[in-house]
Every structure is written in structure tokens, then in C-alpha cells.
Structure 1
């Protein structure tokens, strides 16, 4: 169940330049509880967010995005692998340092220049361009919304309005390099304006479509992820996967439907019934139990986990030369490890976001 922790009055702004540069001072705003903000930061890199992955289908409720997603067709090859590789393509936007975030944003913009054209089939005649400011920012807003909406369900912490503002501003800081020069290419300035913007996009610029409904239904039939899985091992794992995936798909569908905007739920065609409320209560209790008992090294994406370790160690420095030497050694070790992880992520990210010459039908946006 959702819990609210006691208010912590020792949450003064931190003037450390490192915290300012990495945006961590935003999580130390006046009136927030440090524990809740620390949990939110971990949540950004937690695989538990994936249980609410269906909330991200708001992206393809905007018809030009649905047209581009349908045109490329790569989800039909392996929906699971595509989602993983899309995540690896953008992971450093959340977990990387300032330079890595800027480099990743620049790479994503460059790769998406090729994502433009005209839809086929149901979307015949619909023109799309990934770098259309309205469409581009909607993709980022979708991810931010999914993280914010899933946080209380995954962790059990209910944020106050001040904490929601701080969490939003921290995400906005991390994604600032994704913004485009035009006014329509900017994220809303405050959480309140973000909520108004999101509601307007769902209620006035989104609509039900075949790809949206098909992919949400397809969550019950997720293909076996094959990245890094030897081909000889896949047949042996298929019976287990076939047994697990309906359960996992059901959990994702129910949790996503409960967390998403009601108008979007109608577009998808998922009708919430009383038994879904019971299921959702069980699922969220399970998620929150996992959150409480799982060590952070398993709960949080490795690069972000290492960065949190560095920041925690920095905050504990007492000014002594011995403590500084110990910290410097830890920072060098974890920084090297993060560089190796970044190389690994980059080696498995998407090669191209463009539609194939012969369309097979899905998502350049992830």
C-alpha cells in the first residue's frame, strides 16, 4: 500500500557545484523529503518501471507517430528485443554524466533525421517526421509521465505536490539536451503546466488506432528476448517462456491500464472491471515488497547505481586527506566501470531508426 513518510525538515538546498551541475540540487529543494527523492532517483533506473510499460503506448495514440511506427515494422520482428534495444539507445539520458547525456541527445537527433515519410495501410497519406517539435517532445513527455505515474505503485511512496515538482524538474534537467530550438520543442516549465499539456495531448490530439490496440493486446504474446542469448539455448527456454509470458503480459496490461490516462485506456479498448482492482492491489504489493527487500545493486541500472555510490561517498567526505584519497580511488574505479558499461550499451543500441526499404511494419521512437 502507498505510504507517506514523516516530513523531513533537514532538506536545505545544497550549494555543492557538483550537485548543481548534475541537477541533484533539484532533488534537495525546500520542502521535500530526502528519502523520497532518493527513492525517486533510484526509480529512474529500476526495471520495475517496465511493469508499467503499456503507459508508453500514449506515444502511438498520436496518429503521425502511429504511422511512423507502423511503417518501420521492427516490433513485429521481435517486440521484446526492440524495446530493450530502444532502452539501450537512450539509457545514458537517465544514468549518464552531463557529457554523456549531451552526446546521446545529439546522436538521437541525428539518427531520427531519417525518420520521415508517409504512412501506409490504415495511415495512408499521413505524413510524419520524428523531428517535428510537437511529436519529438511528446515522446520525451511520455517517458516522463510513465516514470512519475509508476513511482508510487512501484515503491509505496506518495509524493507531495512539492516533491512532484522536484521530481519533474530533475527529469527535465536530465532531458534538457533533447529539446529543439523552437517553442514547441521545449518541455513545459513546471509540473502543473506539464499536467495541462499532457491532458491536452491525450484528450485533443490523440485517437484510437489499429497499431495502438494491436500492440497493447500483443503484450500477452511477448516474444522471447534473444539479445545475448545463444541460439542453441533458445529452444530449451521456449516452453518456460510460453508459460511465463501470459502472466507477465497480464501484469503489464493491468498495471499499465490502472496507471494511464482514462481517455487513453478507452482508446486502447481495455475495460477495467472490479477484479482488475484486486489484481492491481496484489501486483503493487508484490512490486513494493521487491522494492523493499532487493539490494540496490540488483534493483537499479548499473551505471546509475555506480553514480549514486559516488555521490553518496562524496557527501560523506570529512575534509581529511585520507578520506579524500579513499574517495578518489572509488570514483576512478566506478567511473572506469561506467565507461565499460556505456561501451556495452552502445554496442547493442539500434543501428538505425529509419524505415526499411521494404516496410515490414513498427517503432522508430521506442
Structure 2
């Protein structure tokens, strides 16, 4: 009897928007790489995530499929792992972008109105990456202690476009310049974003201590949750204040989230202290591991290239 082996399941390339030759990687010594690799990037990423789920399609899809309720810490870790690969992964960035696009393909459903929606809805998929730009601009004074210069704003946006292509965002309708982004952003705030239940739940979650029920043996759960509730207070405060603080005031208004002058001053005091710490602590303690090693690798290569110029062959060729 002849046994026919099943054919291997090939990845669906039709969901990809860009070939490898269209994609530019993020330079490890860019401003984007300097900022995204910091541990303090986490709350800024959280603000972007809340804005993302204010899009009705994303809010519905995340509300149905995401594990942010049952495994919030795991979801956050996996999310930051993915972002680190986009910026510091080299060729792995391209593969991670393809993986994300394919992974989202089966996430489809009917919303409350009976309309079929998909995680690959072009407008929604574009908005996921677009949120990084306004949150980065608002976070600059906190992270750097100053606003971005006009040239830096352009650089940040060019890298935003690079990341969009890395994660296979369709470019049709996506703003290609800072000038084009402004009306796009205004339209999203005025006509698209809503106080989605998923977004409101995420904001509430930031003010709730993490539970460790599934992470420790049953006899120690109560003790572990008590310790977590006490130990998490400083991190929760930083996360909540930064997340809400870097939001556009109109975003806060849609969500019904208040923001006081005292909260703004407290946010600035916390980040002023963090900036001091970043000036005196070694990068190994202030950057995510992949970011730290990618930046050190890039610095080592640059120094090697500088030393090349001292070789005899180079001197002869120059003469």
C-alpha cells in the first residue's frame, strides 16, 4: 500500500504588503533606537495600545481574542518582545513583521451590528503603527527633558514609516509625511475613535495590582498577591501617569479620563528623576537586553571600520 504524505502547509503570502527589497531596517544608532530600547518606553507603548483599541475594529478584535484580561503581564512581555525585534532584530525584524501579519489573518468576527470585521482591516492595521508617532512626540519632554527638534520629528516619522513596512502595513492611504499625518490624525480623533469598552478596561487595569494566581503554587497565592499589591505601587503609578499623561487631551476627553495639574507635575518630577538615573547608570541596566546588545554590536562595528582607515593599503589607495 502506498502512503501519500500530506503536502506541507505553506504560509499565505497574499496577506503580505511589502517584499523584502522594499523594507529598510532601523539603524541601531538612530534616535528611534535610542528611545525605544529604554525600559521607560513601556508606559509610552501602553498609551499607544490604549489609543489603538479606541478604534472600533481593533477594540472588538482585541476584546474577543486578546489574553490581556487573563494574562496581562504575558501579553505585555510578548508585545515588547515583538517591538524590540522590529527595531533591533536585523533580518529577524522582517521575519517578525511577516509572522505578525500572518498571525492576525484568522482574527475575524462579526461585531455587535452583525458586520464582518478583520484584524487586517487596512485602516485599523495602519492605526496600530500610526499611534507610535503622536505618543513619541508627547513623551519627548519626559524622556529627553526637551521637545524634539524639527529635524528629529522628521527622523522619527521616517522611522515610523520604516516600521510600518516592516510589519507589513498597507501603504495606500497611510500618510507619507509629517504634514500629511496632521489631517489624518485629526480625522481619526474626530470621526473614528470611540470610548471602546476594551480601552476603558485597559485604563482600569493599569490602576489594579497584578494578580499572581496562575504563577505561584496555590498555598502561596494569597501571600504572593499581597506582596505584588504593595510592591507594584510605584510601577503602577509610573505606568498610569505616563500612559495618560502622553495622551492627547482630546483622547482623554473621549475616554472620560481626568487629568490634573498636580498629576502633570508629579509625572514631570518622576521622569526628571529617571533622566538623572539614565545619565549615571550603565546602559546594561537601563535598556532592554536586545536593545543593549544591538547598540553595542553596532558601536563595535563602527570602531572596526574606523580602524580600517589606518591600514597601509588604505593609505596607498588614498595617495
TM bucket by the smaller chain? 0.7 to 0.9
Residue 268 of structure 1: CA displacement? 1.8
Residue 222 of structure 1: CA displacement? 4.0
Pick closer, same or farther for the CA change 1:55–1:249 going to 2, 3 Å. Answer: farther
Residue 176 of structure 1: CA displacement? 1.7
Hey, what does 1:117 align to over in structure 2? 109
Hey, what does 1:45 align to over in structure 2? 37
Find 2:27's aligned residue among 24, 30, 46: 24
108-117 vs 268-277, greater mean Cα deviation: 268-277
Pick closer, same or farther for the CA change 1:235–1:47 going to 2, 3 Å. Answer: farther
Hey, what does 2:4 align to over in structure 1? none
Residue 300 of structure 1: CA displacement? 1.6
Question: What is the aligned residue count?
Answer: 285
Report if aligned partners of 2:39, 2:288 keep a CA contact under 8 Å in 1: yes
Distance 2:83 2:191 in 1: 28
Secondary structure at 1:61 match in 2: coil
- 1:168 equivalent in alignment to 2:157: yes
Pick closer, same or farther for the CA change 1:131–1:73 going to 2, 3 Å. Answer: closer
Q: Which runs of 5+ in 2 are unaligned?
A: 1-22, 312-319
Secondary structure at 1:242 match in 2: helix
Hey, what does 2:3 align to over in structure 1? none
Greater relative contact order (CA < 8 Å, ≥ 6 in sequence): 1
Secondary structure at 1:272 match in 2: coil
Pick closer, same or farther for the CA change 1:234–1:25 going to 2, 3 Å. Answer: closer
- 1:183 equivalent in alignment to 2:172: yes
Distance 1:189 1:280 in 2: 32
- 1:59 equivalent in alignment to 2:52: yes
Give the alignment's TM-score, normalised by structure 2: 0.79
Pick closer, same or farther for the CA change 1:109–1:26 going to 2, 3 Å. Answer: same
Pick closer, same or farther for the CA change 1:111–1:73 going to 2, 3 Å. Answer: closer
Pick closer, same or farther for the CA change 1:284–1:172 going to 2, 3 Å. Answer: same
Q: Which runs of 5+ in 1 are unaligned?
A: 1-19, 28-36, 323-366
Bigger Rg over Cα:
2
Residue 230 of structure 1: CA displacement? 6.1
Distance 2:160 2:48 in 1: 17
Hey, what does 1:76 align to over in structure 2? 69
Residue 164 of structure 1: CA displacement? 0.9
- 1:269 equivalent in alignment to 2:262: no
Hey, what does 2:17 align to over in structure 1? none
